[in-house]
Structure 1
Amino acid sequence: MASLLFATLEEFNAWLKTQKPPKRYNAAIEDMPDTPWSRLPRAIIDTRLKEFGQRIIVCLGKFPYDDKELDHVEKAAQSVSQVKRSPAMQVAFIGSQAAGKSTLLCAFFSLEGASPTGASGKACTSTAIRYKNYAEGKDGPTKFHGQTRFLKTKKLEAMFKELCRHYYYFHHAEEDSEDEDDPESEEAPDQSKLEALKDTAEDILVALWGSKQSFLESWSPSVFKSGAFVRLCQLKFKEAIEFANVDSDSIAYMMGSDQHQLLSQMIRFMSQVEGEKCLWPLVDHVMISFYNQWLEQGLELIDLPGCGDSNRQRARHADEIRDSVQVEVVVCNTARIESDEMFIQQARTAINLHGAANSISDNQQGQDDREPYRTINRLVRETQEMLASIDDDEDEEENFAQVMKRNQLEKRLSHLKRCDKQHRVAERAQRLSRTIGEKLQGRSASTLPPLIHTSAAQYMEWLEKPKFTFKDQPDFSVEETGIPQLRRELLALTAPQNMQDYENHVFITAPAVIEKIIRTVREDIHEGGFVTIADAFEVVGQKFMVPWKTGVVEVFRDSSDKSMKKLRADIPALQNRINMKVEEWCKLKFAAFNRAMKGKGVLPDGKSYAKSPQTGRNLDKELSDILTPGISKWANTHASFMAHMEEAFCKAIDQLHRRVINELDDAGGNMVTVEKAKTKWHNDKNSYPEKIKTDMMVLVTDVQRLTKRASDWAIMKDGRENNLVGSITNEWYDDIHDAAPKLKPPVPGRKQKKVYEKPGRFQFQKNRMKSHFSGSKVQFVEHAFQKLQAKFDRDTEALVDKHFEIINDILSEFAEHLRGRKMLDYQISEHGRAIRADLKELLPHLQDELHQIQSLFPQRVKEEDGASPSKFANYADLNVDDATFPEIYDRVMKSKKPAQVPKRSTKRDDDSKTKRMRIEQS
């Protein structure tokens, strides 16, 4: 269109005749990102896999019910037609309230009403909404399924405490402020913020009780202070969710024929709805499942509540969800993107993907004297003058030619304005990309995430009508709205795993079915000894795996202990800094001090800080900053212990391999049987030792990620609400705020404020604070490090349990394979023999069919010699003893230490820079 800006009216009219009226956009025909996965003929593969399995099932027919082998083959044939897919990649949409996350999700699905928007003026998504694919809807009528899962008991209790405190502070703050130490000149706290917190609390509590009158009848300051009201809230919650027909796991299920019907049922679990019982703040998440071509590609999208929730427990819960996802899309409105510090912070935290709404106001047009705007403005004026001359000619009878000319001029005018808008948006997009890129840019260009400029509203306009005229078509093309680009970015992330799933199925699962048929039709393969070998193998596995797992846990725990031991010398200095910080807090005036305690350590902007800065402060962040050097030292030390863990695992796997080979050599089977078992163990295309090695490498990577995540959690990176210090101080702040000495008895007949016994309430609170942070047997720094280590050790052991369960499954798979080759313990019927004969005749056709299916895949890259499973073939040359895993690990570490010492001393500065660079890129 840009080339037509300088065209004459005649040239424009000639071009206009070549343009067909645009039609409604059909997202179903949208191109996938160009990857091996998108080029894979999946429809053909799926069809052929179904035909492959069906040919086997037809050949089996009605086989004898007691023929276990044929039954096993049938189950394998049924499974081959359905490719087992990996868990969907979780993508969280992050952003401020009213940033456009929900509208963006509707555009992503090309489905209006898929996510509630803020059109009603209320929060559109006050709880997390998860969107998952419902595969059963692919071949039939699409149904929309919904689940609502409520928060667990512990989180509910914390939520109720916070809500009740906010309500109490607003209505009964004067009862806590009557202290002889309270300066009368102290300014009142920000009433608007207190009122907002009170309103939120009241909305929830009234919803629990069913009416405000019923709530007020149960509420009293004394009941709240005793803790009884929080317990009453929990009982009321159980009563309130009965209307939702929840199951024993506190999950409510719903279904609708379309998204609107489902959303009408679920909206009360997402936001406040007039006249309905709404428990959205107490919901863990809402799940919406329906068939969608984009979700089918392995995506699970999560619409998180807007950042900056005043309810700290809700904010921490959202942080926990963010910690569990693989990808984050940070959304911001371009009207304030450059100055939106929340967006910049969230983008730096996510550093993965970004979506931004793109729009431009009409009053920006016609105000620029640069090209091409100068030419556009001139042509707009000329076109408007030509239109006016037609309208002003009232004496001349308007004929068909004039109508046509007016129509052409109106089209040209709309075209010019559309071009002006497109140029401005494109220019601003480039500027924003450059500006935001500079802010997010680290030391390396690879740290910059994709910045996608989108307009969900313009995209949705392309779905409103079946056909558009030239004048009423949306201002931007579908591609210019950025929605297709956003889809491509996300789908490109899932493509490698999808491809791997199909390859595993066609090159491993399907060949295993043919192998089962071969074992079934060949009588000579059912020779004695396999059961004995399988039994012996399971004994080896049990004898090796239990101490191996115990040794791994011991090494991880020992590494954790040694890493923490490195901090022992720093604890007194850190505790001294903590004590100084607490003394600094105690110099705050009474109202500021109490506001900080009420806000769980967050003191908003204000003027009541005495000599302290008037800007807001976060006490938890101040403590985290003090602990940061120690935490970084711990993380770096632990990383050094993990540096050679992979080598130790490889030696342990060699040890397992040698033991298995020895046991197979000593087994009671004949030579042919033993050699077949050995071949299956280590010479297979996907050998069992290699499978175990791969999983152990993943375990090491997971522990390294866990170390970084624990470090980020501990140092409160990016201001996350879910953090180490907050997990300790959350209850302390409540206790400090509520602390008060005994009241002096009132003087009879005299009205007076509450007077506390010495040292007075404020001093009593400050003493309580000092007692928490430094007066207990275990001081704050020691307590924080113990809590960090305990959480890290629990999470590490959970990872070990998870991966050793996978290894046990691998070993069980091998034992099951051996047992499948045992002597038949029943007589094969004549019917069974006839079926086996048919299977044998079908076998070459199945092998040829599978080969044809495999040929549809791109040529697989051969493994390098060093990574080939055949490395285990020379098992007799392995020099492996019976050392325990801790002994193996110690040997590896001792063999590496001499080479590391000079390197650390001579390149310390370079190594530090390298570490920083690596952290920024992760």
Structure 2
Amino acid sequence: MVPIPLPTLEEFAVWLKTQPNPKRYDVTIEDMPDTPWSRLPRTTIDTRLKEFAQRITICLDKYPYDDKELDHIEKAAQSVSQVKRSPAMQVAFVGSQAAGKSKLLCSLFSLDGVSPTGTSGKACTSTAIRYKNYAEGKDGPTKFHGQTRFLKTKKLEAMFKELCRNYYYFHHAEEDSEDEDDPESEEAPDQSKLEALKDTAEDILVALWGSKQSFLESWSPSVFKSGAFVRLCQLKFKEAIDFANVDSDSIAYMMGNDQHQLLGQMIRFMSQVEGEKCLWPLVDHVIISFYSQWLEQGLECIDSPGFGDSNRQRARHADEIRDSVQVEVIVCNTTRIESDEMFLQQARTAINLHGAENVRLVATYIDIIDDNQKGQNECEPYSTINRLLEETREMLASLDDEDDVEQIVKRNLLEKYEKYLDRCVKRHMIAERAERLTKAIGDKLQGRSAGILPPIIHTSPEVYMEWLEKPKFTFKDQPALSVEETGIPQLRRELLALVAPQNMQDYESHVFVTAPAVIEKIIRTVRVDIHEGGFVTIADAFEVVGQKFMVPWKTGVMKVFQDMSEKSMKKLRADIPALQNRINMKVEEWCKLNFAAFNRAMKGKGALPNGKSYAKAPQSGRNLDKELSDILTPGISKWANTHASFMAHMEEVFCKAIDQLHRRVINELDDAGGNMVTVEKAKVKWHNDKNSYPEKIKTDMMVLVTDIQRLTKRASDWAVMKDGRENNLVGSITNEWYDDIHDAAPKLKPPVPGRKQKKVYEKPGRFQFQKNRMKSHFSGSKVQFVEHAFQKLQAKVDRDTGALVDKHFERINDILSEFAEHLRGRKMLDYQISEHGRAIRADLKELLPHLQDELHQIQSLFPRRVKEEDGASPSKFANYADLNVDDATFPEIYDRVMKMKKPAQAPKRSTKRDDDPKTKRMRIEQS
């Protein structure tokens, strides 16, 4: 904790004279985090890249458009003028409702009103707001653009079913309680939770109909039970989005001159607004785009829905958003952060999902201090501050109320000193609490194992925004905390530091790869002697590699991953009967719940709240999906470990396959029929270049291996419900089953005329009928639950693996196409060069040394280590000309590597008995 200076009154008077009145905080001059990216003179580099490209385009002025080479150079030069940036790093701000996420984002952008906050009663409750940079606003008037994307049909249908059921069972539960076999519940259901579910359902359904009266006119229990009301909801949704003026992709577009004007148009897509038809429950996410110097750095911020949503479909949707981002900022109110178990759980989930280095923890209200606590602490420095405050107030009380100039000056000084001391108390209490909370939260997250923990940032968005309100502040009315003490600049630096390496890599790639490629194109264009006819032959021969090798290679890779998947699941086959038996026992246990508890569990999609009497069940409530996941966990762990063992040596397998590709390329080049000089030039370009093509392919294959390993871990976490996530394997199966079980009922016996009586079902009665339906789902079908769950897990992994393989092999094809394009760029021209074309080539040739010098100067602006890494180390494939590689398929290579890596088994001991007593005695003695 930084010590806060406590000057005497005399020292304060001297110090005060040196302090100018603070001005409004200028966020545009805020320092970036100290990284190689922040030290890079980007403005100079951008300017010189544009000048570099402009020199070429000026030289190409009015070139003949049928001159393919010059046209190619002109397009390449245009691409140099602007650095191609990677997709923005997505940062999700996650926290419970009223945690301060929206206010935090407003302060992060230094724009009040860019996100709806709870202060107006219009806080966003279930809509993700994505904030993106709008680059076109940098040099002109800033416009704010908005997009609203609605949920997909399948998610909407599931959400409507859940909402209608919650509404029905709150208002019409008594209609289902008149069953003959409905024993009296020993405790009433938790009315507050039922009412919360009903309120959520009513809010959304009323929003869909436009008014409560219109909704109630359409609603009836019989329409709901027939399934027609859910279909009516879908029709209403289509009417609603027509009202919202959306395009064919269900996207509505808006624009405003400032954030307030845009938000005024979009607020009904984010929260409930009195008197307006609001569609926020049906929205997948909202995009707000505007120019921001922070978003321009490559950030996309997401104000995610507050966790704790009572609608499980919305909760799962929020989980999906978190799965897709790279960084999470977990937000909590300072006053609750130490004891908020939900905050700690979400922090652990984020650390497990993204790693501690990609998680930041934020407390949002550090400035909230109870005034009654200020004078209660008697330890230092509070005792000294309190003494000085008391002395100051006594001196103020002793002053006369005369308008004497000396008295006025002294009173003014004393009042400022009193204000300063009061701020000292508050600042010290804030710093002390922040230090204590940081340690306490760190201890809770650390547990017993030592590891990296995400930083905890203590912020005050309210105080930060105060610094932006007035042009100037007097000493008395300036905020108690400095801008830096609000924590907002620190949070910005943390996020910018995370995206800095990606930005640096984009610039390095552009200046050291893209720009030199343009110069190489110019060299090939102006040197007539390298337009050799042999290159077209070599290019044709090289394309054969793609036909003969790449397609079978990809097929082999897919076969290996498919075999790996099958073998991993095969390891579980012997365990399935035992696991299914445990599932059956668990289902029998559920069937012993009383009728009320059983039905509440089915209504809650497997979530049974705390209660007094759940038969033999624990009184603290239960989660049926979690109980099933716990049973499956040993099997899932076995599958994950087996899959990991099969992946252990995959990098080596890919290296051998790339060796094979390299050898085949060399063989094709040797047999291409070109002259020796031409063939050798092609070989040098293939594997002796600074950034050789085999090295590029190897790098991409190593990333593929890492992606597959990460995919498997995420699938395992998804399957075992790690961190209690709503989006999980068991829930994806049981969600519809629970609905079906709850709604299941045998036929009703005809009522006795003239007598009022409870519903009488045909045997076996409704409750037994439901229990039979449950047993049928979990164990009576052809594919029992455990088998079904493992098949679903395998299908998900296979599908995601296939998508990754397609993605990476597409990149490899691009790499090979780049090499083929290089070869074809050196072919003999198939058209006559005009005189104007020759003149331009002569000008380009004269310009070439200047371009090379200019590019060298631009490269010199980068840190030295970048230039050294760019090509100092020789290619690992430089000496692969003598590789002894056969024509084995990828699966065959994989099998060879796995056999070599398998530890040798100890020889089995002979089981033959030795009847010679002497021999037996010698064996015993030796043992």
After TM superposition, is the score higher than 0.5? Answer: yes
User: In the alignment, what sits opposite 2:290?
Assistant: 290
Per-residue CA shift, 1:533-588, capped at 9, x if unaligned? 22221121122111111111110111111111111122122112212211221121
Q: CA RMSD in A?
A: 1.8
User: In the alignment, what sits opposite 1:917?
Assistant: none
- Answering whether residue 393 of structure 2 is matched by residue 384 of structure 1, we say yes
User: In the alignment, what sits opposite 2:566?
Assistant: 561
- Are the structure 2 counterparts of residues 785 and 24 from structure 1 closer, same or farther at C-alpha, using a change threshold of 3 Å? same
Residues 695 and 876 of structure 2 are in contact (CA less than 8 Å); yes or no, is this contact kept in structure 1?
no
User: In the alignment, what sits opposite 1:430?
Assistant: 435
- Answering whether residue 886 of structure 2 is matched by residue 881 of structure 1, we say yes
Q: Distance in 1 between matches of 2:698 and 2:79?
A: 27
- Answering whether residue 384 of structure 2 is matched by residue 375 of structure 1, we say yes
Q: Distance in 2 between matches of 1:507 and 1:876?
A: 27
Q: Distance in 1 between matches of 2:536 and 2:148?
A: 49
Question: Deviation at 1:443?
Answer: 5.1
- Answering whether residue 315 of structure 2 is matched by residue 315 of structure 1, we say yes
Question: Deviation at 1:9?
Answer: 1.6
Q: Distance in 1 between matches of 2:15 and 2:418?
A: 15
Residues 338 and 432 of structure 1 are in contact (CA less than 8 Å); yes or no, is this contact kept in structure 2?
yes
Question: Comparing 527-536 with 729-738, which one deviates more in the overlay?
Answer: 527-536
Q: Distance in 2 between matches of 1:7 and 1:524?
A: 81
Aligned 1:371-520 pairs, distance under 5 A:
371-390=380-399, 393=400, 397-442=402-447, 444-520=449-525
Q: Which amino acid aligns with 1:793?
A: D
Aligned 1:444-843 pairs, distance under 5 A:
444-843=449-848
TM-score (normalizing by structure 1): 0.95
Per-residue CA shift, 1:97-147, capped at 9, x if unaligned? 100011111111111111111112343342101111111111221111111
Question: Deviation at 1:64?
Answer: 1.0
Question: Deviation at 1:517?
Answer: 0.6
Which SS does the other structure have where 1:629 is aligned?
Answer: helix
Which SS does the other structure have where 1:870 is aligned?
Answer: coil
Q: Distance in 2 between matches of 1:538 and 1:512?
A: 22
Residues 690 and 869 of structure 1 are in contact (CA less than 8 Å); yes or no, is this contact kept in structure 2?
no
- Are the structure 2 counterparts of residues 755 and 543 from structure 1 closer, same or farther at C-alpha, using a change threshold of 3 Å? same
Aligned 1:346-361 pairs, distance under 5 A:
346-351=346-351, 352-357=359-364, 358-359=366-367, 360-361=369-370
Question: Deviation at 1:599?
Answer: 0.7
Q: Distance in 2 between matches of 1:899 and 1:459?
A: 66
Q: Which amino acid aligns with 1:771?
A: S
User: In the alignment, what sits opposite 1:301?
Assistant: 301
Q: Distance in 1 between matches of 2:863 and 2:681?
A: 31
Question: Comparing 44-53 with 346-355, which one deviates more in the overlay?
Answer: 346-355
Q: Which amino acid aligns with 1:810?
A: I
Question: Comparing 120-129 with 445-454, which one deviates more in the overlay?
Answer: 120-129
User: In the alignment, what sits opposite 2:920?
Assistant: none
User: In the alignment, what sits opposite 2:915?
Assistant: none
Question: Comparing 802-811 with 572-581, which one deviates more in the overlay?
Answer: 572-581
**Percent identity among equivalent residues?**
88
Question: Deviation at 1:188?
Answer: 2.5
Q: Distance in 1 between matches of 2:858 and 2:867?
A: 19
Q: Which amino acid aligns with 1:141?
A: P
- Are the structure 2 counterparts of residues 649 and 111 from structure 1 closer, same or farther at C-alpha, using a change threshold of 3 Å? same
Alignment match of 1:362 (pick from 371, 375, 383): 371
Residues 116 and 125 of structure 1 are in contact (CA less than 8 Å); yes or no, is this contact kept in structure 2?
no
Residues 441 and 448 of structure 1 are in contact (CA less than 8 Å); yes or no, is this contact kept in structure 2?
yes
Which SS does the other structure have where 1:140 is aligned?
Answer: coil
Question: Deviation at 1:215?
Answer: 2.4
Residues 527 and 821 of structure 1 are in contact (CA less than 8 Å); yes or no, is this contact kept in structure 2?
yes
Residues 210 and 278 of structure 2 are in contact (CA less than 8 Å); yes or no, is this contact kept in structure 1?
no
Question: Deviation at 1:223?
Answer: 2.2
User: In the alignment, what sits opposite 2:916?
Assistant: none
Q: Which amino acid aligns with 1:300?
A: E
Q: Distance in 2 between matches of 1:343 and 1:254?
A: 35
Which SS does the other structure have where 1:82 is aligned?
Answer: coil
- Are the structure 2 counterparts of residues 800 and 363 from structure 1 closer, same or farther at C-alpha, using a change threshold of 3 Å? same
Q: Distance in 2 between matches of 1:259 and 1:159?
A: 31
Q: Which amino acid aligns with 1:626?
A: I
Q: Which amino acid aligns with 1:149?
A: R
Residues 533 and 818 of structure 1 are in contact (CA less than 8 Å); yes or no, is this contact kept in structure 2?
yes
Question: Deviation at 1:743?
Answer: 1.1
Residues 316 and 722 of structure 1 are in contact (CA less than 8 Å); yes or no, is this contact kept in structure 2?
yes
Which SS does the other structure have where 1:446 is aligned?
Answer: coil
Residues 76 and 513 of structure 1 are in contact (CA less than 8 Å); yes or no, is this contact kept in structure 2?
yes
TM-score (normalizing by structure 2): 0.95
User: In the alignment, what sits opposite 2:166?
Assistant: 166
User: In the alignment, what sits opposite 1:123?
Assistant: 123
Q: Distance in 1 between matches of 2:669 and 2:5?
A: 81
Q: Distance in 2 between matches of 1:552 and 1:848?
A: 45
Residues 126 and 314 of structure 2 are in contact (CA less than 8 Å); yes or no, is this contact kept in structure 1?
no
Residues 685 and 869 of structure 1 are in contact (CA less than 8 Å); yes or no, is this contact kept in structure 2?
yes
Question: Deviation at 1:524?
Answer: 0.9
- Answering whether residue 857 of structure 2 is matched by residue 848 of structure 1, we say no
Residues 362 and 457 of structure 2 are in contact (CA less than 8 Å); yes or no, is this contact kept in structure 1?
yes
- Are the structure 2 counterparts of residues 510 and 442 from structure 1 closer, same or farther at C-alpha, using a change threshold of 3 Å? farther
Question: Deviation at 1:899?
Answer: 6.3
Q: Distance in 1 between matches of 2:403 and 2:230?
A: 79
Which SS does the other structure have where 1:561 is aligned?
Answer: helix
Per-residue CA shift, 1:221-243, capped at 9, x if unaligned? 22222222212211211111112
Per-residue CA shift, 1:374-411, capped at 9, x if unaligned? 11111112212222222xx45xx331111111111111
Question: Deviation at 1:214?
Answer: 2.9
Residues 185 and 596 of structure 2 are in contact (CA less than 8 Å); yes or no, is this contact kept in structure 1?
no
Q: Distance in 2 between matches of 1:892 and 1:310?
A: 51
Gaps (5+ residues) in structure 2? 352-358, 908-927
- Are the structure 2 counterparts of residues 244 and 842 from structure 1 closer, same or farther at C-alpha, using a change threshold of 3 Å? same
Question: Deviation at 1:779?
Answer: 1.3
Q: Which amino acid aligns with 2:382?
A: Y
Question: Deviation at 1:604?
Answer: 1.5
User: In the alignment, what sits opposite 1:871?
Assistant: 876
Q: Which amino acid aligns with 1:615?
A: S
Q: Distance in 1 between matches of 2:864 and 2:114?
A: 41
Q: Distance in 1 between matches of 2:373 and 2:614?
A: 44
Which SS does the other structure have where 1:93 is aligned?
Answer: strand
- Are the structure 2 counterparts of residues 450 and 697 from structure 1 closer, same or farther at C-alpha, using a change threshold of 3 Å? same
Question: Deviation at 1:682?
Answer: 1.0
Q: Distance in 1 between matches of 2:122 and 2:594?
A: 37
Question: Deviation at 1:607?
Answer: 2.3
Q: Distance in 2 between matches of 1:289 and 1:296?
A: 11
Which SS does the other structure have where 1:871 is aligned?
Answer: coil
Gaps (5+ residues) in structure 1? 903-922
Which SS does the other structure have where 2:332 is aligned?
Answer: strand
Q: Which amino acid aligns with 1:502?
A: Y
Residues 85 and 498 of structure 1 are in contact (CA less than 8 Å); yes or no, is this contact kept in structure 2?
yes
Q: Distance in 1 between matches of 2:195 and 2:706?
A: 47
Question: Deviation at 1:89?
Answer: 0.9
Q: Which amino acid aligns with 2:121?
A: G
